């Protein structure tokens, strides 16, 4: 298996584990994961409130409240990429990517923490930039829904995630999403006569279904744009 993933559906008071890996000592893992996700959620809300401060959004919990309620559609995922010598032993000379190709995340914001093995790259218009691994740090990626809410002021981060040829890579990701019925549209406080709304309003459920039925590398916000704009410069 090239990648082992464990998914957890997270709500305020309940954690549902859908992997046979945790059938033993389930109570221990449940409690540990509940505490971990609560802490990561609190940190995520703090960061979103600082981002709101930076844009002058009032009240400052306008963004954070979208991911802090009981019915939020958030996911906590653990990934394990075993070493993959094939990456360096490709006889054809072509580049092999074992992992996830270039994509953005559809939620509001994503929080990543990994072991001391590199594999995350940020993809910009001037090339791909490796992110140095740091097991003592958390990495935050702006996601599609936050790009819409801020009317393009914060841009969703294109990135790739790959295995390592010599070392295992283990990382956790917290995808902070709103409730399925939450309506997503540019905040009115960020729109004036000279800065029109760039996106149509949609529910998180509508966008989630659209995103997961598209190709990973697609610009999944394009069908919801009001006019032809480029936010990738």
Residue 104, domain CATH: 2.60.120.330
Q: Is the peptide bond before 61 cis (omega within 30 degrees of 0)?
A: no
Q: Is 10 among the domain residues?
A: yes
- Give CA 228 to chain center in angstroms: 25
Rounded to an integer, what distance in angstroms lies between the CA atom of residue 95 and that of residue 108? Answer: 31
Residue 202 has pLDDT above 50, yes or no: yes
169 catalytic residue (yes or no)? yes
Q: Is 18 among the domain residues?
A: yes
Question: Exactly one of 113, 166, 169, 215 is catalytic; which is it?
Answer: 169
Rounded to an integer, what distance in angstroms lies between the CA atom of residue 52 and that of residue 56? Answer: 6
**Total of domains in the chain:** 1
pLDDT top residue among 141 and 161:
141
Q: Is 230 among the domain residues?
A: no
Domain that holds residue 206: 4-224
Q: Is 232 among the domain residues?
A: no
Q: Is 210 among the domain residues?
A: yes
pLDDT by residue (tens digit) across 113-159? Answer: 999 988 888 888 787 788 888 999 999 999 999 999 999 999 999 99
Q: Is 229 among the domain residues?
A: no
Q: Is 231 among the domain residues?
A: no
């Amino acid at each position: 298996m090239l990648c082992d993933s464990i998914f957890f559906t997270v709500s305020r008071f309940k954690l549902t584990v859908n992997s046979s890996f945790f059938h033993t000592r389930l109570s221990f893992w449940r409690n540990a994961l509940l505490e971990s996700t609560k802490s990561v959620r609190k940190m995520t809300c703090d960061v979103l409130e600082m981002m709101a401060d930076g844009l002058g959004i009032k009240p400052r919990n306008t963004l954070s409240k979208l991911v802090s309620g009981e019915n939020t559609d958030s996911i906590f995922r653990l990934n394990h990429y075993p070493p993959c010598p094939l990456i360096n032993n490709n006889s054809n000379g072509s580049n092999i990517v074992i992992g996830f190709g270039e994509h953005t995340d559809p939620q509001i914001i994503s929080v990543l923490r990994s072991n001391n093995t590199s594999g995350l790259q940020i993809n910009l218009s001037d090339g791909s930039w490796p992110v140095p691994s740091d097991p003592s740090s958390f990495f935050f990626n702006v996601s599609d829904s936050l790009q819409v809410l801020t009317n393009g002021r914060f841009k969703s981060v294109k990135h790739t995630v790959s295995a390592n040829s010599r070392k295992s890579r283990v990382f956790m990701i917290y995808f902070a999403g709103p409730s399925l019925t939450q309506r997503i549209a540019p905040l009115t406080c960020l729109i004036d006569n000279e800065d029109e709304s760039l996106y149509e309003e949609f529910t998180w459920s509508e966008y989630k279904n659209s995103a997961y039925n598209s190709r990973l590398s697609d610009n999944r916000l394009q069908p919801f744009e009001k006019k032809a704009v480029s936010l990738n410069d």
